[in-house]
Amino acid sequence: MGQLNTGNIGERLKTMVFLAAPLLFLYLVFFVELDENNPAITYTLAVALLMALWWITEIVPLAVTSLLPFVLFPILGVMNGKAVASNYFNDIIFLFLGGFLFALAMQKWNLHKRIALKLLLTVGNSPSRIMLGFMLATSFLSMWISNTATTMLMVPILMSVILKFEELNPGKGVGSFSTGLLLATAYSASIGGISTLVGTPPNLSFARIFAIYFPEAPEISFASWFFYAFPMVVILLIITFGYLYLVFIKKKSDDWTHIDTRDIELEYSALGPWVREQVIVAVFFGLLAVLWFSRADIDFGFVMVKGWSNIFENPKFLNDGTVAIAIAVILFLIPSKNSKSKFVMDWKTAEGIPWDIILLFGGGFALASGFKESGLSQWFGEQLIWLKGVHPFVIILSVSLLITFLTELTSNVATVETFLPVLAGLAMSIEVNPLLFMLPATISASLAFMLPSATAPNAIIFGTKRLKVLDMSRSGLALNFIGIIIVTLVTYYLATLIFHISVSDFPSWAND
């Protein structure tokens, strides 16, 4: 989550919450008894609230807070230390590692910049086409590399275009164009990441937590996730483009002089011809994507497409993390002709792996395991049993609304990892397919468009000092509600087809 200076009042409030969290933890542990036959339920809730409040304040680094389950669960008798430790490194972590190694390889050889500039050159030079180009380039890159890295890449290109546009249109009120372009880039970075499991951390958190709770459930593969999420991305990008165009460009675009794309062409030319290393990374990147999509069986309803993993004796032994690491390792073995590096990928570059995010994943997975092992998820479900008579569509809408606006204030990963266990318990309690609640919660965590502090892309764009909080809040509020509606509709009508969900039947794999 990006940082925003909220002033002394905001910092004092954070400090108060930070200091109150341990007191609340101790009060729950020593003076509260949610279930007299199972004190682990209360202890787990105490740990969860302590972590949630510290995650919100971020006075202690998120990664450090994520280590608390490894210390507190064994001490309180919730889980064995060995069992807790196993949550900090698993197949989803390896999927993240493999995907990030490829992202680092793309950045090392400037392949990501080549892709972005080429897309911008392809779409044209009018204000609307420039906005579309930035949205397409940003969303595509954020499908594969972090939205933070994507936004950081796009900002220098973005600013050069804005400055050129202002130079060509002095005194013509082009501030609205720069505002629209900045917002379009930030929002596209968040939207694009929804598409793939590796696109944004909440997606990976969902995949692991779902597997922890429902080990007998059908696997959430790279392909199945993509078929569910990508239609949402397309719809959101179209609506976002249309909305920002109408608000920031349409009224004045007839009076503006279009940008000559020669500046972008010069920047692209400065990259020089394709080098051997760029070709290798591009080829293996394409291979990785193909292997991810085609590994597991894909059931289209009318036809079943068998995955390549079936050629092995134990196809279930292979997962997307295995594929990611296998292809990433190859990059470390291919010699480079460039004098700066002996191989296409090296460990110095790999040191850029965000280990803090990995610890954040692990802490969330450990917390989810604690929810399950202690019985806290079931306890939450029992408290919410009154929702059994409510139509699932209404609950999906409510979940999307809650998570979308909550993640405006908190880390999206922390939000997902705190709420998914609760939603799993709710689904089991009222006997509804857990995917109906867990999927929209995960997607909604990436749809925070209102505040600079909500996401790293928002914070980076706001850091250009060419944007007012009011502009972001107005546009973001409208897009938040649009996103909530789209997530609800796509989950209820499309996800039920892709994941073979029956709204009226409770799946056998979801039973304890």
DSSP per-residue string spanning 355-380: HHHHHHHHHHHHHHHHHHHHTHHHHH
Q: 183 and 475 in contact (C-beta within 8 Å)?
A: yes
What's the whole-model pTM score?
0.79
User: pLDDT-based confidence at 2, cuts 50/70/90?
Assistant: very low
| DSSP-based three-state secondary structure for 283 | helix
pLDDT surpassing 50 at residue 312? yes
Pairwise CA distance, residues 305 & 312, whole Å: 16
Residue with tokens 């909604």: 444
Q: What percent of the chain has pLDDT over 90?
A: 29
| DSSP-based three-state secondary structure for 32 | coil
Q: Could you count the other beta carbons within 10 Å of the beta carbon of residue 11?
A: 13
Cα radius of gyration (the chain):
23
pLDDT attached to residue 11: 79
- Distance from chain centroid for Cα 263: 33
Pairwise CA distance, residues 332 & 420, whole Å: 36
pLDDT surpassing 50 at residue 12? yes
> Where does residue 175 fall: left (phi above 0), alpha (psi -120 to 50 degrees), or beta otherwise?
alpha
Q: pLDDT tens digits, residue range 159-191?
A: 777 777 777 767 666 778 888 889 999 999 999
Pairwise CA distance, residues 142 & 67, whole Å: 28
Q: pLDDT tens digits, residue range 221-230?
A: 888 899 999 9
pLDDT attached to residue 6: 39
pLDDT surpassing 80 at residue 264? no
Q: pLDDT tens digits, residue range 84-142?
A: 999 898 887 888 788 888 878 888 888 888 887 787 777 767 788 888 988 998 899 88
> Where does residue 20 fall: left (phi above 0), alpha (psi -120 to 50 degrees), or beta otherwise?
alpha
Q: What percent of the chain has pLDDT over 70?
A: 92
